[in-house]
């Protein structure tokens, strides 16, 4: 039996960092949603114990270093699975981009193997398992709009955001999350009102949603990647209603509800960056 799972990218509508926790992680408050830029993972069962990974992407590890491999290994150990799996990763989400591509692949792996091996686990149970793989994995299990707390692993689903076009621009060089968090001066970080953001989303109020959008890590990441600020400026100039960095960056996204405006923004940005994507938010 062959199983295929979609692994969508995520964007942060708000991102706040509160404090450093005793476990070394930072306490986060984030409103996130999924967008229709997706990897696709294909699973085929093996009768031996082997885990094999293949991919169209030349730049990702196809061994134990890959979070997909780690997700398989975790399920096999936890449920004493005596079978292996061949997994193909059709990679479309940029790597080290702030879009949660690796986390979404891990989440898709947990969902896919749950079906392949008929484990009968709920999404809530899969999200709890996903916590062991990474902070964004529980959110990616659901692929809905959600409010995330803790280090990002405590998920509360909220209403879907008003439908809009999302323009994603990934600068040539990625950025490591660890690099950004090492540089944090918590007292100097801006704070964005996630309560107002959630209220705006629940009321399906697009204007209020873009008013309260923001990412507290943007300035820090911008020190490493000055093109973040340049791309934001270009997006706003070409007509985006709001332009914000996602996650720890360096990808910047812009929002608009008008397709013609979205196309104009895309055309304007293609001269500055090779990786420009026009997608919809997921329902």
Counted residue by residue, the chain has a size of 283
- 245, β-bridge pairs: 252
Question: Residue 214's closest CA among 255, 184, 173?
Answer: 255
Q: Are 46 and 83 in contact, with CB atoms under 8 Å apart?
A: yes
DSSP H helices in the chain: 67-79, 101-116, 123-130, 137-142, 177-182, 194-202, 206-211, 218-224, 227-238, 259-269
In eight-state DSSP terms, residue 8 is E
**Distances 258 to 32, 163, 231 between C-alpha atoms, Å:** 22, 10, 20
Q: Which residues carry out catalysis? A: 10, 136
**Which residues lie closer than 8 Å to 38 by C-beta, 6 or more apart?**
6, 7, 8, 9, 92, 93, 104
Q: What would the two tokens of residue 73 be?
A: 């290994």
């Amino acid at each position: 039996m062959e199983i295929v799972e979609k692994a969508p990218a995520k964007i942060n509508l708000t991102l706040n960092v509160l404090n450093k926790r005793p476990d070394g992680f930072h306490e986060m408050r984030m409103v996130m949603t999924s967008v229709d830029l997706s990897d696709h993972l294909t699973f085929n069962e093996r009768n031996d114990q082997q885990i094999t990974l293949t991919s169209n992407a030349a730049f990702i590890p196809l061994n134990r270093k890959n979070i997909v491999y780690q997700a398989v290994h975790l399920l096999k150990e936890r449920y004493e699975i005596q079978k292996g799996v061949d997994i193909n990763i059709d990679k479309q989400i940029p790597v080290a981009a702030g879009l949660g591509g690796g986390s979404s692949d891990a989440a898709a792996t947990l969902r896919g193997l749950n079906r392949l091996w008929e484990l009968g686990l709920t999404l809530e149970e899969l999200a709890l398992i996903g916590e062991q793989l990474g902070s964004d994995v529980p959110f990616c299990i659901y692929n809905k709009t959600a409010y995330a707390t803790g280090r990002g692993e405590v998920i509360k689903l909220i209403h879907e955001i008003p439908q809009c076009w999302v323009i994603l621009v990934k600068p040539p060089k990625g950025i490591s999350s660890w690099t950004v968090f090492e540089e944090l001066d918590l007292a100097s970080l801006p704070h964005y009102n996630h309560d107002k953001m959630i209220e705006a989303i629940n009321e399906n109020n697009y204007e209020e949603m873009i008013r309260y959008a923001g990412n507290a890590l943007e300035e820090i990441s911008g020190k490493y990647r000055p093109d973040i600020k340049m791309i934001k400026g270009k997006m706003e100039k070409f007509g985006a209603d709001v332009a914000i960095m996602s996650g720890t960056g360096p990808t910047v996204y812009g929002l608009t509800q008008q397709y013609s405006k979205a196309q104009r923004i895309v055309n304007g940005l293609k001269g500055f960056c090779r990786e420009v994507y026009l997608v919809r938010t997921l329902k």
